Amino acid sequence: MDDEIRRFIMYLKDVKKASGNTVMSYHSDLTKMMNYAKQQGVDQADKVTATTLNAYVLSLEKNGMAASTISRYIASIKAFFEYLLREHLVDEDPSYQLRAPKVKKKLPGILSIQEVEYLLEQPQQDHPKGYRDKAMLELLYATGMRVTELVHLNVEDVNLRFGWIVCRDEEKERMIPFGEKAGKALVEYLEKGRHAFIKKDDSDLLFLNCSGMPMSRQGFWKILKGYAQKAGIEKEITPRMFRHSCAAHMASNGAQLQTIQEMLGYTDLTATQIYAGFQSGMKTEYSKVHPRG
């Protein structure tokens, strides 16, 4: 079986162009499976059966391995045997009916609505940095967008008249509504703050740092952490927590999961199921269910 694993790893490197970490994970996972099979007297890939693999998974469960780790091992095994079948190195796929254990999705850490209110009150709107920070925080909470999406926004992406923003990722773009308070913060930043950050060359970016350069994710995280401390929030706050808080607060106010899915840019509705426990045109529903709509 060693030879088949080597061929599969070369396939991942040369054809799939997988990252080094991905290749290492596959190799480690499959080596563990191979060692178990050899202990059971099975040393050839075409001799591995569904019974062999089911017994292996059962042994992992008995040893107390986390369901998420077992799921990863199973994914590696299935990819391996699918490759062998496609290359006619085995006559059938013994992993075909192998099923990963259900992984219980944990509810993400969120801020309370009151904590968000405290946080959003911190930027002092008497200087450009305060106007910028207020606009960034309000917009992040209003839309639930990712920080990477926030710092890559251009001025032209904002439609103040209709209260929409165009948000782009690597594959697609989506339009997200924002409420009155975020709109007010954006107007004040554009009128009273943004010009102070533009240095030698004009920039289309909506948010810039004090050097006139694009705002980084790390730079925003430091800003957020600083205001959280001023607000007296003891939780270990992260930008992603803001995203989850937006979704959870909307869900608790009655938002449909499909609306949350569209806003946050999830491709699969099941990704929003974690918000179901908090528990309609998107713009109309948004104004009803977002705490700052």
Instruction: Name the residue ranges covered by the structural domains of the chain.
Output: 2-86, 113-289
* Residue 32 token pair: 């563990």
Q: Tens digit of pLDDT for each residue in 220-255?
A: 999 999 999 999 988 888 888 888 888 888 888 887
What was the pLDDT predicted at 106? 60
176 neighbors 198 (Cβ within 8 angstroms): no
CA distance 140 to 211: 22
182 neighbors 139 (Cβ within 8 angstroms): yes
Fold of 113-289: hpI Integrase; Chain A (1.10.443)
Q: Tens digit of pLDDT for each residue in 37-69?
A: 999 999 899 999 999 999 999 999 888 888 888
What was the pLDDT predicted at 98? 86
Q: Is the pLDDT of residue 281 over 50?
A: no
Q: Is the pLDDT of residue 219 over 50?
A: yes
Average pLDDT over residues 80-108: 83
Per-position DSSP letters for the chain, written without gaps between them: -HHHHHHHHHHHHHTS---HHHHHHHHHHHHHHHHHHHHTT--SGGG--HHHHHHHHHHHHHTT--HHHHHHHHHHHHHHHHHHHHTTSSSS-TTTT--PPPPPPPPPP---HHHHHHHHT-S-TTSHHHHHHHHHHHHHHHH---HHHHHT-BGGGEETTTTEEEEE-SS-EEEEE--HHHHHHHHHHHHHTGGGG--SS---BS-B-TTSSBPPHHHHHHHHHHHHHHTT--S---HHHHHHHHHHHHHHTT--HHHHHHHHT-SSGGGGGGGGGG---HHHHHHHHSTT-
What was the pLDDT predicted at 287? 56
293 neighbors 259 (Cβ within 8 angstroms): no
Tell me which amino acid residue 216 is.
Answer: S
- Label residue 280 by pLDDT band (50, 70, 90): very low
Tell me which amino acid residue 38 is.
Answer: K
Q: Tens digit of pLDDT for each residue in 108-164?
A: 678 888 999 999 999 998 899 999 999 999 999 999 888 999 999 999 999 999 999
Closest CA to 81 of 29, 24, 18: 29
CA distance 59 to 36: 9
CA distance 57 to 139: 46
What was the pLDDT predicted at 252? 82
What was the pLDDT predicted at 64? 86
172 or 218, which is more confident?
A: 218
CA distance 81 to 246: 42
- Label residue 71 by pLDDT band (50, 70, 90): confident
Q: Is the pLDDT of residue 171 over 70?
A: no
189 neighbors 135 (Cβ within 8 angstroms): yes
In CATH, the architecture of 2-86 is Orthogonal Bundle (1.10)
